[in-house]
Structures are given as C-alpha cells and as structure tokens.
Structure 1
Amino acid sequence: MKNIKYFLIKLLIVLTLPGCEEFLDSKPSKDLVVPVNLMDLSALLDNSSVMNVSPSISLISSDDVFTTESGWLGFRQDWERDAYLWRKEVYEGVTFVPDWSLPYMQVFYANIVLEQLEKINTKPSEQELYNRVMGSALFYRANAFFELSQLYTPFYSWNDKTEGMGIPLKLDADINNWEKRASLQETYDQIASDIKAAAELLPDKPVFPNRPSKQAAYALLARMFLASEEYVQAELYADLSLQINSELIDYSYLASASTMPVPQYVYPIPFDNPEVIYFQQLANDSFHSSELVFVDSTLYNSYHERDLRKQLFFYENFSLGGANFQGSYTGTFMKFSGLAINELYLISAESKARLNKIPEAMSMLNSLLVTRYETSDYMEYMTNSQEEALQIILIERRKELLFRGTNRWSDLRRLNRDPRFAVTLERSIGDKNATLIPGDSRYVLPIPEVELDYNDLEQNP
C-alpha cells in the first residue's frame, strides 16, 4: 500500500504540471513503483479523490443557481465568475483547468490499469477480481469521456448522427501519444462501447458505492442515450438498471425523523442512501460552500407546499437573498453528481412518453413522486396527451435532479432544440448583464489555452 500511495502522488505531480512529457522522457526511477498486481490496480481505481469527482462548471453555468453581487465577488477564482456570466473566454489566464484535466486524469488512471491487466497472468481464483477491475477501468474511462463531451463538444443526436468535433479519445497511458479530436460519432461510439463492455464484466451491485457495477453501467448508458435523444435505448437501459434494484427513499420517513423545517447545516439525506447506485460528487469550488449561492427562485417556488422536497431540500435564507440547497445525495454540502435510482425513474418515464407509451410513462412518474409526499397528500398525475405528459415529466425531472451538475446542463443543451421546452437564461451582477439563448455557442466551452499550447488540437468556435 505504501508503494501505491507513492505512485499516486507521483501521478498527480506528473498530470498537474506543464511539460510533464519531460518526466516520461527520463529513465524510470527505482522509487516509482508501477502497480503490477490486481490488488494494486484495484487500489488505484479506489482513489475516490480522483476517480469519483466530476467537473463543477456545469452547475455554476446552469439555471439551477443564482447569486448576489457579494456572492459573485466572493468566488475565489476568476473562472468561476466568468462561468457564472457565460463569458466566452472563461479560462483566460487559467493554467490548470480541473473541468478538463480531472476527467483526463481519470482516463489516464483507467488506461494504466487496462494496460497492466494485459500483462497479468490471472489465476482461476482471481478471475472475479480481474473482471471487476477491468470493468471498472472501462466504466471510469467512459464516464470521463461522457462528462467531457457534455462540456467541450456540440450537442450530439444519436438518431441524426450529428457531425462535429468530439474530444481526444485517449486510449493508452503514454502521454507522449496525444490524440487529435475524434468526431462526435466516434466519441459517442467509444463511450457506448466502453460502458457495454464494462457491464459484461461488473457485478450487479458494488460492495462500496464509489465502485462501478452492472447497474451503474446500465444507468450510465441510460443517461448517455437520453442526452443524445436515443429514447429507445434510454428506456431499455433505465429499465434494465431498475430490474437490479428499484428501491426509493420514502421522504415522509425522512421528514418525520427531522425537525421541520430542517435547521440550517443539517443535511437530511442520509449518507447511506439506498437510491445511490454510483457515488460521485462535483469538484469542490468556492461557490459550492457559499451562503450566497441560492436555488433559482422560480424553481424553488414551483414546489407545492406539501411537497416534502421543499421541506427537505432547502432552508430559507431570504435575509441574504434566497433559499439555499441542502438536499444533496452526498449527505453533506458537497453536490452529488453520480447515478441514482430516482434519475432512472425519470429517464424511463420521459423515454416512454417520447415513445408514446403514455400510461406506462405516468405510472413510472407516479411511482417516484408518491414517495416525495405524505401518501394522503399525493394526487396522481393522469393524462392521455403525449405533450402534456412530457411537460409534466420534464418539470418533475427539474425539481428532482437539481444541483447535480451535468444533468441540468445536458438537459438545457438537449431541450433547447425543441421550441416547446427551450429557455433563454439571463443574469445580472451589478452593471453586468448576461444572456444565454438556445443554441448559443457558449453551450460548448473552449478547450483550455494551456492545453492547446502542448497539444495540436483544434479549438472550438
């Protein structure tokens, strides 16, 4: 274990410093111990501070949040302020961009594991562990590629095979071999291929929620297909994942177990949440912990007074400017960005509605929402209209999955293509006004300039 920890420290140094190719050009040092057995490789992937963290810019740029001028000025980093106002040069002068570098660090770890697995002679008694480690590496790589695709590539629709530039698909651990940008089609093909291969290898459920599983792989496929408008596949994999486990928390139990309203800084969602399929959280940036970052007022006011989510997810802080969010599935102030059963219910419901399976769609939605109210207070949604069903489901999706980063940002990119659901975002900070219209090029972030200095990549428009 000492060797693996030392290896991780060296990796972090290599990946976060410019000119890291010089490190690899030198002869290997005897004190750099590469993991060579299955337990070491498993330990490398169990490094949650790297592997279970996702980009946070998708939350600050979404319409889930707003802040005051004091809150905006209090953000520690310039890129946070720029992202909040959707500025084009969001990374100007930034030498380390975690939203880009962190997913590629995960890809690097995964590729090291996959390459080392090819060199291991596995005993029959180790086959289960071998499969889990390989499946996990493929899952982590696919998840990182997907997160990157939602930030740094144009929207992709699986059905019309949208053309455009994807991301560099790094499939080996040699950082001297850097890839050009793949096409959008190649990017999504690689993501789907990795996840499907992972699903064949992983156990149905994990021992620990920070580890991938077959259920998590199916859930990630459902999320990816929904984000790319492939609703047949989204429904298929959401339902396959729910067949493994479909347990939901009864929020009335959480409400009765706490003082109402929930006191400030008491997090009502348990850490051992049975809805969590795969644990992941957004990177910890200063806006996460600011008292002056509030939930969007229109969104907050959309919750019915008898909706237990309004009581559990927020505490009112109107003297400072609004209501703060405290309903994260991490059980702390950190924001959950992983995969959970409630998301699968909503993916399944929307996909069924898109496919004109209205009774099944509404049944799936009602099965979720009845657990968010006292049973006697809940009135089931009923409709035979596809458009009304979609309107209802998308409103409830917004209310259920807020503050989860990629979910809302991906939804904005996807739904803005449909005039029925498109929204124009507006923000004001002092004398600074910003507007983000549907289809705006700023829904695609620029590749960090520091990355372009070292790799011959084409910049986004």
Structure 2
Amino acid sequence: MKKSLSSFIKIPSTLWNKKWLGAVLVLGLSSCEQLLKEEPKFIVAENFFNTAAEVEAATNAIYSPLRSTNYAVYETSLECQADYAYGRGSWAPLHEHQGLNDANISRVAGLWNAFYLSIRNANLVIQNAPKGKAISPADINKYVGEAKFLRAFNYFQLVRNWAGVPLRTEENMTQIDLRRSTVEEVYTLIQADLKEAETNLPDKPANVGRPSKWAAKTLLADVYLTLGKYTEARDKADEVIKSGKFSLVPIASKADFQTKVYGPELVSTTEEIFYFKYTRQVDQGNYMLWITNHPSTNLFNFGGAYVVYGQTTEPLYKGWNDADIRKSLWEKVNIGLGANTVISSKFADQKAISQTGAGNDDPVYAYADVLLIYAEAATRVNNAPTAQALEALNQVRRRGYGKTPTAASSVDFVLADYNAATFVDAVIQERAYEFLYLGKRWLDLKRIGKVKEAIKAAKNVNVADKHLLWPIPTSELNFNKAMDPVKDQNPGY
C-alpha cells in the first residue's frame, strides 16, 4: 500500500461526522439521517480549527473535490479539444469545436462546481486556521500556505477555461452575489496566493503529495509563462532547477515509463513536484485509467471506456519519430472506428480494485514541466535559444529516447540549427510528446495563439473565437444575482 497523501486524504469517519461536518454544515454538504443522530450534532468553526490535526483535516478537504473523478474528467475534456485527440460518444462535441451539447455543458458545469468547492474549503482554512488556540504559528503558516497554493491552482484552471470569474475569498465567502472579476483581477489573486505559498510552504512536506515551496515556484512559473512574463517564468523555473532536488527518472523501454514513471505502486520519484496521489482503494484511485483504456489491451483489469483517442493519420503522430519511446505509449487499437485509432497506455494497473481504484498518481507538475518552462521562457527573453535552454530541452528529449537525461546524446537538438521562433516551436512540440493525455496541449495552443492553425491542420475544422472558452454555468447565473445572464455569459452560449 502506498504511503502518501492518498493514505491520509480520506478523513476518518469519526472526525468527519462529529466535527468537520458540523464545522462546514453552512457550506451545503449533504447530510443523512445517520449523521444527524451522532453527537455532537453541530460544532461551530471556532471550536474546530484549534489544533494542527483539525486544521490538517480541513486542509485535506480541499483536495477531495479535485481528486474524486473530477480532475480526470477535466483533463479528458481538455484533451478531447486538442489537435491530436478525439472524443467518443458524448465527448465527441469537444473535438468538433462547434459548441457544446447539453451533456458537455453539464460536464463542464460540474468542473466549475468542483473548483469552487475546493476554493471554498481552502477559504475556510485561510480564514479559520489563524484563530486556532492550540496550533503553532509554524503550522498555521504551513496549512494556510497549502490552502493558498490550492486556491491559486483552482483559479488558474478557472481563468484559463472561463476567463473572468467571481473571486470568492475568505473575506467574502458568505456573500452570495459577487460580480464577475476580470481576468487581470483573477491573476492578481493567483500570483499573490502563490507568493505567500512559496514563502510559507516547507522545503519538504511531511506527506508525499502535499505541495512544497518548490511546487509553488513551479506553479508560479507556469502562471508567469501563461501571462507572458517570461523573465519571471525563466527565473522561477531556474530556482527549481538549481535546487538540485529533482531529476528525470532514466528509462529504457515502454514498460519503464509505465512502471518507473507512472506506475501504480510508486510512492514518489525524483521527478515528482506536485501530483494528485491515488491508491488502490475504492473511490481513492485514479479514474483516468477507466476513461482512457480499452478492454483488449489488458492494461486495466476493469476494462475501460476509451472515450478519448487519437489517429495515426494525424500530423503529430505521423511526424513523431518511432525511436521516441513515448510514441509507443499510444497503442494501435481498433475501437470500432477503424484500424487507425490509437489510445493511451501511459497509465496501467492490472491490480486495481475498481473503476475508481487504480493506484497510478496524476503527474500535475513534474520536473519535465520545469525544464520545458525554462527552455521556452529563457529563449523568449533572450530572443534566441541559449545553451542552458537547449540543455533543458535536451534532457526531456533524451529521456524520451531512452538516453541518459543529463548526458549528451545522438538525439540532441543542436543550438546552431534554431532561431528563437523555431526553438520555441520545438519546445511546444516536446510538451505535446511529454504531456500526452495530461490536459496541457489545448491550453498550450490557446496560450501561444495557435489553436485555429493546429485544429485546421489536424482536423480540417475552423474554430471560432467563441469556442475557446466554456460557458458560465446556468446555476451560477441563476444563483449569483450580481452576474447578468446575458452580459456575463461567455460569447456563443
């Protein structure tokens, strides 16, 4: 059994039922007759956030809306929109880029709710932990830093997919009617939260899976890259690189990727920076295996729904060197759509205990993220690739080909062959190879302004501007009277 945050994230029933449920009853969590019979029936926040154990339990609750199945659904929704992927069944409208049908409008509304539920739980910790009577200042800073990291993480997902959103913080969390903040205002909060998290999070967390200050620096580097603050992105990524705390796991085969990098029995690796941790327990496992796998591959002992797939005829697959071991993580499987379909075999667990009981962690941020952020940002700042940027890119490429990441090899990019534009293109391409099925390609294409070009080339579909965002949920517009259902809705919905 893996011993990581996934081992602790499920709050013991005695604590949840008797204390935490009462503390957050105002938040609208469902109760049942059995819970209502337990004593005490209601514990106010002032009586709960007093010890480190209580605050840690509250902090654990920030993860719950994300871990469940929601983050896997989120990544899948993003992947289906990418140039190299398609959605099957109810997911198909995502790759058609003609607007969302009712099923997908409901699906992305569920993601909105999950992000805001996690934000709400973070706000509770931020608001109440400093009031604790039996908790040290160091623990207060640590848990508030973790809550602010996760709040920033949630808002980063929201702002990139919905643009401006209501900013709910510890200061206004009981206020129902909140205007739609601007994109700039959302990013201002994200950056402020991450700077505080960077200061207060530990160098090494007590449990694998909790964020460290290096995770905060990495997320901040990604935010800076998205905002076009390339000097800041370069410098923040460089801090992580120069820490010497992380390195890519060497591999020599497809099986090495499946076991040594993404394996279900791994507790952690040298490249892990911030992962959602999962374990082989019902409803505590990684749902992505059910989403991506096909029963014929025998990679997941509960079959799979294979709702997202690729095609060997697409530009990315055709142009991908067969010697790159990462390409073999796309397996050719006829899922009833012809012989050209490929599905991901990145995540495999033949000992999972349920559809939601696979042990593979979700690599939200790994060392490859840092290296590629640095390579791109440094090149943009310098208006030409640098030797350091080249080395960062080559480390990721070498590992993909089964070479030693830190040793020069025959597959290396050569500095003289590239200018700033072509080198950035090479970095973006490497990101596509490295982060396949992790929900990053669509956001990358939006960030660099190449969605329309890439989707047209791959799928011969014209993407309208209105399809670059998801709709603000009707439930939010009905509930929040400070938002106008017409003026505040994203275009086209």
Task: Give your verdict on TM over 0.5.
Answer: yes
Which of 87, 92, 101 aligns to 2:113? It is 101
Partner of 2:49: 36
Per-residue deviation at 1:81? 4.3
Which of 274, 277, 302 aligns to 2:319? It is 302
TM-score by length of 2: 0.73
Which of 408, 419, 435 aligns to 2:441? It is 408
Partner of 1:158: none
- Mapped contact 2:176–2:480 kept (Cα < 8 A): no
- Measured at CA, do residues 374 and 62 of structure 1 come closer, stay the same or move farther in structure 2, by a change above 3 Å? closer
Which of 416, 421, 426 aligns to 1:392? It is 426
- Measured at CA, do residues 94 and 66 of structure 1 come closer, stay the same or move farther in structure 2, by a change above 3 Å? closer
Q: Percentage identity across aligned positions?
A: 22
Partner of 2:97: 86
Per-residue deviation at 1:146? 0.5
- Mapped contact 1:114–1:134 kept (Cα < 8 A): yes
- Measured at CA, do residues 208 and 301 of structure 1 come closer, stay the same or move farther in structure 2, by a change above 3 Å? farther
Question: Residue 131 of structure 2 aligns to a residue in which SS?
Answer: coil
Question: Residue 233 of structure 1 aligns to a residue in which SS?
Answer: helix
Per-residue deviation at 1:329? 10
- Mapped contact 1:316–1:324 kept (Cα < 8 A): yes
Moved more, 290-299 or 439-448: 290-299
Structure 2 residue 306 is matched with structure 1 residue 291: yes
Per-residue deviation at 1:416? 1.9
Partner of 1:344: 370
Structure 2 residue 489 is matched with structure 1 residue 455: no
Which of 415, 440, 446 aligns to 1:383? It is 415
- Measured against aligned partners, the alpha-carbon deviations of 1:51-85 in whole angstroms (never above 9, x if no partner) come to 54533422222234224xxx32xx4xxxx344343
Partner of 2:86: 66
- Mapped contact 1:58–1:151 kept (Cα < 8 A): no
Per-residue deviation at 1:233? 1.2
Moved more, 328-337 or 216-225: 328-337
Per-residue deviation at 1:360? 2.2
Per-residue deviation at 1:308? 1.8
In the aligned structure 1, how far is the partner of 2:79 from the partner of 2:218? Answer: 21
- Mapped contact 2:246–2:270 kept (Cα < 8 A): no
Moved over 6 A (4+): none
In the aligned structure 2, how far is the partner of 1:212 from the partner of 1:202? Answer: 7
Which of 159, 167, 170 aligns to 2:168? It is 170
In the aligned structure 2, how far is the partner of 1:224 from the partner of 1:329? Answer: 31
Per-residue deviation at 1:296? 4.6
> How many residues are matched?
412
In the aligned structure 1, how far is the partner of 2:20 from the partner of 2:134? Answer: 24
Question: Residue 370 of structure 1 aligns to a residue in which SS?
Answer: helix
Partner of 1:363: 391
Per-residue deviation at 1:204? 1.6
- Measured at CA, do residues 386 and 340 of structure 1 come closer, stay the same or move farther in structure 2, by a change above 3 Å? same
- Measured at CA, do residues 91 and 226 of structure 1 come closer, stay the same or move farther in structure 2, by a change above 3 Å? farther
- Measured at CA, do residues 319 and 148 of structure 1 come closer, stay the same or move farther in structure 2, by a change above 3 Å? closer
Per-residue deviation at 1:315? 2.5
Which of 132, 135, 144 aligns to 2:142? It is 132
Partner of 1:45: 59
In the aligned structure 1, how far is the partner of 2:348 from the partner of 2:59? Answer: 22
Per-residue deviation at 1:357? 4.8
- Mapped contact 1:314–1:324 kept (Cα < 8 A): yes
Question: Residue 206 of structure 1 aligns to a residue in which SS?
Answer: coil
Per-residue deviation at 1:337? 5.6
Partner of 1:182: 181
In the aligned structure 2, how far is the partner of 1:152 from the partner of 1:12? Answer: 29
In the aligned structure 2, how far is the partner of 1:243 from the partner of 1:362? Answer: 16
- Equivalences for 1:172-251 in 2 at 5 Å? 172=170, 174-244=173-243, 245-251=245-251
Moved more, 315-324 or 327-336: 327-336
- Measured at CA, do residues 284 and 382 of structure 1 come closer, stay the same or move farther in structure 2, by a change above 3 Å? closer
Q: Give the aligned residue type for 2:141.
A: N
- Measured at CA, do residues 177 and 441 of structure 1 come closer, stay the same or move farther in structure 2, by a change above 3 Å? same
CA RMSD of aligned residues (A): 3.5
In the aligned structure 1, how far is the partner of 2:461 from the partner of 2:400? Answer: 34
Per-residue deviation at 1:40? 1.4
- Mapped contact 2:79–2:308 kept (Cα < 8 A): no
Per-residue deviation at 1:268? 5.3
Q: Give the aligned residue type for 2:121.
A: Y
Per-residue deviation at 1:445? 1.0
Q: Give the aligned residue type for 1:171.
A: T
Per-residue deviation at 1:361? 1.5
- Mapped contact 2:265–2:359 kept (Cα < 8 A): no
In the aligned structure 1, how far is the partner of 2:238 from the partner of 2:288? Answer: 32
Q: Give the aligned residue type for 2:250.
A: D
In the aligned structure 1, how far is the partner of 2:490 from the partner of 2:27? Answer: 26
Unaligned runs of 5+ in 1: 21-28, 154-165, 429-433
- Mapped contact 1:65–1:296 kept (Cα < 8 A): yes
Structure 2 residue 147 is matched with structure 1 residue 141: no
Question: Residue 273 of structure 2 aligns to a residue in which SS?
Answer: strand
In the aligned structure 2, how far is the partner of 1:81 from the partner of 1:342? Answer: 30
In the aligned structure 2, how far is the partner of 1:86 from the partner of 1:15? Answer: 35
- Measured at CA, do residues 95 and 318 of structure 1 come closer, stay the same or move farther in structure 2, by a change above 3 Å? closer
In the aligned structure 2, how far is the partner of 1:91 from the partner of 1:108? Answer: 27
- Measured against aligned partners, the alpha-carbon deviations of 1:19-75 in whole angstroms (never above 9, x if no partner) come to x9xxxxxxxx951334322211212222443254533422222234224xxx32xx4
In the aligned structure 1, how far is the partner of 2:94 from the partner of 2:26? Answer: 27
Structure 2 residue 349 is matched with structure 1 residue 324: no
- Mapped contact 1:300–1:323 kept (Cα < 8 A): no
Per-residue deviation at 1:149? 0.6
Question: Residue 36 of structure 1 aligns to a residue in which SS?
Answer: coil
Partner of 1:156: none
Q: Give the aligned residue type for 2:362.
A: F
Moved more, 7-16 or 353-362: 7-16
In the aligned structure 1, how far is the partner of 2:239 from the partner of 2:40? Answer: 47
- Measured at CA, do residues 409 and 9 of structure 1 come closer, stay the same or move farther in structure 2, by a change above 3 Å? farther
